[in-house]
Every structure is written in structure tokens, then in C-alpha cells.
Chain A
Amino acid sequence: GAVVSQHPSWVICKSGTSVKIECRSLDFQATTMFWYRQFPKQSLMLMATSNEGSKATYEQGVEKDKFLINHASLTLSTLTVTSAHPEDSSFYICSAGGQSQNGYTFGSGTRLTVV
């Protein structure tokens, strides 16, 4: 089945630094990828939709200058958390798919801790 690889699986960074998270579709081409954020014991909140070759579409309330998304190829999308703050600490998950009527495949997630 479809596999989505996400790296890193966890990262600790200092306040004010930037962190890049990668999401790759390994055995299929994904024209669209989704980025979600999940706080403990809460649901997955859609942050943005990443489209290959064009600008990402951000959900209301998500700062596009803070969460930079690049989808330069059909197999890779990246999310960069810029000038990270402790409140950005969360579980970030990417998703890709749509290859069939079944659900989208999720990456394994990245647990970001900003200290």
C-alpha cells in the first residue's frame, strides 16, 4: 500500500530557531499533501494543504509566514516552523493520498518540543 515517510520523528529545538519537517510519498506521486497539528488529547487540526508547484493553502488562523510549506516535487513536501516558540510544541503530521477512494495515508508524525 501507499507509504508516507516523515522525518524527523522527534526534535527538540531552542526558542527562536527554525525546524524543518519532511514528508515523502515513497511509492506514489502526491500532488496534494496535508499538514496537521495535534496537541495532547486533542484532534488533528488541518493547518494547510500543500500543492505541488503552487502556493500552499492555509486554514484560517494559521500564520503562513510562520509555518512555511514547500511542495517542490510530487514526492516531497516540507513544513518549516520558523522562529519557534514553546507554544509551537506539538505533534505535526503530514498526509498524502487520494490515489483511491480509500483514506489518505499519514506519515508517522513529528513531535516538536521547543525549549
Chain B
Amino acid sequence: GQSLEQPSEVTAVEGAIVQINCTYQTSGFYGLSWYQQHDGGAPTFLSYNALDGLEETGRFSSFLSRSDSYGYLLLQELQMKDSASYFCAVRARPRNRDDKIIFGKGTRLHILP
């Protein structure tokens, strides 16, 4: 089966930088995604890494190391609106099964003024 591990909560100060780590175990790995979800809302896509390395999109960057089954989401210049839950998700195709996305348990990011 698939499993993902990420911290349950992280607290940071407005304007600072925070890194949310994610380790995973899966077969048929395609890539690692990150999603943001505010309370009561649906998840929104942030980034996707299929290859090793760092992908940068504005204030958010995401990193993947396939050999270590590890990735992280880096948020810079934190703003109060970044307070949300962040989910890492594995895109995988286990043997004889369909392509699927499996989510980690999520990291609740608290931002202090």
C-alpha cells in the first residue's frame, strides 16, 4: 500500500520561512504533489515534482528526492493568509491498478503575527 508521513502541526511567524517535510512509501511512484486547504474549502493545487530537485513558484517551492522518498514544501515571506492545512500527495500507479493520488494526513500551519 501507500503511506505518507508529514508533521501534524507547524507554527511560524509572519514574514518568516517554513519548511514542511513529507516522506512516503509507495509502489509505482509518479510524483509528489502539494495541496493547500483552508477550513471549509476544497484543496487547491500548489506544486508537483516528478523529478528530483527544486521547483519554484513564487513564494512557494517544492523539493523531491526520489532516492530518499522524501520531499518538502518551502513557504517564504509568510503571510497570515497562508494559515491553512498543507497536504503532500503521492501520484502512483500500483501494479494492475489505476493511476491514483493518495494524501498524507496534512500539516496544519499556524502563523503568528
Chain A residues within CB distance 8 Å of chain B: 32, 34, 36, 42-46, 49, 51, 57, 93, 95, 98, 101-109
What A residues does B48 contact at CB under 8 A?
Answer: 101-103
**Interface core residue of A43, A46, A98, A109 (most chain B CB under 10 Å):** A43
Chain B residues within CB distance 8 Å of chain A: 31, 33, 35, 41-48, 50, 87, 89, 91, 97-106
On whether the beta carbons of B98 and A51 are closer than 8 Å, the reply is yes
Q: How distant is B97 from chain A, measured CB to nearest CB, in Å? A: 7
Give chain B's interface secondary structure class: strand
On whether the beta carbons of A109 and B41 are closer than 8 Å, the reply is yes
Closest to B47 in A: A103
How far, in whole Å, are A6 and B50 apart by their CA atoms in the complex?
28
Contact of B87 among A43, A104, A109 (CB under 8 A): A43
What B residues does A107 contact at CB under 8 A?
Answer: 42
List, sorted by A's number, 15 A–B pairs whose CB atoms are closer than 8 Å: A42-B105, A43-B87, A43-B103, A43-B104, A45-B103, A46-B102, A49-B98, A101-B31, A103-B46, A103-B48, A103-B91, A104-B33, A104-B45, A105-B45, A109-B41
Closest to B6 in A: A43
On whether the beta carbons of A46 and B100 are closer than 8 Å, the reply is yes
How far, in whole Å, are A2 and B19 apart by their CA atoms in the complex?
28
Q: How distant is A94 from chain B, measured CB to nearest CB, in Å? A: 9
What B residues does A95 contact at CB under 8 A?
Answer: 101
On whether the beta carbons of A106 and B105 are closer than 8 Å, the reply is no
What A residues does B105 contact at CB under 8 A?
Answer: 42-43
What A residues does B100 contact at CB under 8 A?
Answer: 34, 46, 49
How far, in whole Å, are A43 and B33 apart by their CA atoms in the complex?
14
Q: How distant is B87 from chain A, measured CB to nearest CB, in Å? A: 7
On whether the beta carbons of A104 and B31 are closer than 8 Å, the reply is no
Q: How distant is B62 from chain A, measured CB to nearest CB, in Å? A: 11
What A residues does B101 contact at CB under 8 A?
Answer: 34, 46, 95, 103-104
**Interface core residue of B45, B87, B91, B99 (most chain A CB under 10 Å):** B45
